[in-house]
A = this chain, B = another copy of it.
């Protein structure tokens, strides 16, 4: 983020420090697809489709969500955590603890 990129600090990007900002459209697209999968599952239940076919779709949707998580996490480590480490002090420890807690929730969910 240099002085030459003022637009990122504009109203359009209230938090230019978020790691995922530069791939925002990609995340929105993936989340819209996931929303569509949730609607597809409702249709399958509505039509009383076969349980195993519904389970296969739930697994696909879970994988898509997991992939969103891993992407967000990578960008979080590469931006927020790296920046906190460079600043140093207690904030670095705090960010590492916070990221580890989020990873634990991911691993256990």
- In the complex, chain B residues whose CB is within 8 Å of the CB of A62: 62, 65-66, 69, 109
Say whether A13 contacts B48, CB under 8 Å.
yes
Q: Encode A66-95 as 1/0 by CB contact (under 8 A) with B.
A: 101110111111101111011010001100
Majority-rule SS of A interface residues: helix
30 pairs from A and B in contact (CB 8 Å cutoff): A13-B48, A14-B48, A15-B48, A15-B50, A18-B48, A18-B49, A20-B54, A21-B48, A24-B46, A27-B45, A28-B42, A28-B46, A31-B42, A51-B75, A52-B76, A55-B72, A55-B76, A56-B105, A58-B69, A58-B106, A59-B105, A59-B106, A66-B108, A74-B96, A77-B81, A78-B96, A81-B81, A86-B86, A103-B103, A107-B107
